[in-house]
């Protein structure tokens, strides 16, 4: 059945060359765990991407139930957690995945640094990777407020206070993040919009650039 569907699509769009270009791409021997035990460190990037996909899919599920206002935000999360089938599992995956993806990205960054993979001709990809790390941190910070409980509220106040201490532009950053004089309805709305629309759009663009450069330049050699 699947093969018949694939053949039907392939007859009309000729997708086989595109698929072969991806599937038949050879990888260097030093990233093959069967030949080199140290090759496992080259899996950090792939694992980071895998967790990112889980975050996107679970986040899409959560937005079906989440209500981004200060009156109903906590109640909507509580409903998802206790009333929706498998809601507690999906939210748990998204919650712990937010921390795990940062850990995996940090390990991936260390691997790139200590193997010298940031050097020519891959400097631009290193810059894109660092930008992806900042976007991921931003996703974690903005998502932390969304449950709108005491821990999220006061943690966000501390985060905004830290941001306001940036020289020259701190107060502008605070106003942009807070949306007013206090952490309230405008803050929650802004964090939700940034978390669901702005940062994911930036993330997808940066990931596309990251993978394109990896495809063009190949996987870096061993240390």
Note the Cα 104 to chain centre separation in Å.
11
N- to C-terminal Cα distance for the chain? 46
CA triple 54-187-101, angle to 5 deg: 20
Average pLDDT over all residues of the chain: 91
Q: Is residue 13 part of a domain?
A: no
The model's pTM? 0.90
Concatenating the DSSP letter of every residue in 105-148 gives HHHHHHHHHHTTTTSTT-HHHHHHHHHHHHHHHHHHHHHHHTT-
- CATH number of the domain enclosing 119: 1.20.810.10
pLDDT digits (tens, 9 = 90+) for 182-213: 999 999 999 999 999 999 999 999 999 999 99
Q: Does residue 62 surpass a pLDDT of 80?
A: yes
Q: What pLDDT, on the 0 to 100 scale, is given for residue 210?
A: 96
Q: What pLDDT, on the 0 to 100 scale, is given for residue 36?
A: 67
- Where would I find the H helices in 168-198? 170-178, 185-193
Q: Is residue 223 part of a domain?
A: no
Is residue 62 a contact partner of residue 196, using CB atoms and an 8 Å limit? no
Q: Is residue 36 part of a domain?
A: no
- Average pLDDT for 75-89: 96
Residue 119's nearest CA partner among 23, 8, 223 is 223
- E strands of the chain, at which residues? none
What's the rounded Cα separation, in Å, for the pair 6 and 20? Answer: 14
- The conformational region for residue 61 under phi > 0 = left, psi -120 to 50 = alpha, else beta, is alpha
Q: By residue range, what is the domain housing residue 201?
A: 41-217
Q: Is residue 24 part of a domain?
A: no
Q: Is residue 15 part of a domain?
A: no
Q: Is residue 178 part of a domain?
A: yes
Q: What pLDDT, on the 0 to 100 scale, is given for residue 27?
A: 74
Q: Does residue 39 surpass a pLDDT of 80?
A: no
Q: How many domains does the chain have?
A: 1
What's the rounded Cα separation, in Å, for the pair 73 and 76? Answer: 5
Q: Is residue 113 part of a domain?
A: yes
Q: What pLDDT, on the 0 to 100 scale, is given for residue 34?
A: 63
CA triple 6-12-18, angle to 5 deg: 65
Q: Is residue 135 part of a domain?
A: yes
Q: How confident is the model at residue 150 (pLDDT cuts 50, 70, 90)?
A: very high
Q: What pLDDT, on the 0 to 100 scale, is given for residue 223?
A: 63
């Amino acid at each position: 059945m699947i093969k018949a569907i694939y053949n039907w699509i392939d007859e009309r769009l000729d997708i086989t060359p595109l698929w072969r270009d991806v599937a038949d791409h050879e990888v260097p021997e030093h990233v093959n765990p069967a030949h080199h035990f140290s090759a496992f460190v080259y899996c950090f990037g792939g694992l980071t991407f895998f967790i990112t996909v889980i975050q996107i899919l679970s986040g899409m599920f959560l937005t079906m139930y989440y209500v981004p206002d200060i009156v109903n935000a906590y109640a909507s999360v509580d409903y998802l957690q206790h009333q929706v089938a498998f809601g507690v599992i999906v939210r748990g995956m998204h919650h712990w995945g937010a921390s795990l993806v940062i850990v995996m990205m940090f390990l991936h960054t260390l691997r790139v640094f200590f193997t010298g993979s940031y050097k020519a001709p891959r400097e631009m990809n290193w810059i894109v990777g660092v930008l992806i790390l900042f976007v991921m941190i931003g996703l974690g910070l903005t998502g932390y407020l969304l449950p709108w409980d005491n821990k999220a509220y006061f943690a966000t106040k501390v985060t905004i206070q830290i941001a306001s201490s940036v020289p020259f532009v701190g107060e502008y950053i605070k106003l942009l993040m807070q949306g007013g004089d206090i952490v309230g309805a405008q803050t929650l709305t802004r964090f939700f919009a940034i978390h669901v629309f702005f940062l994911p759009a930036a993330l997808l663009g940066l990931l596309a650039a990251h993978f394109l450069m990896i495809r063009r330049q190949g996987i870096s050699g061993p240390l």
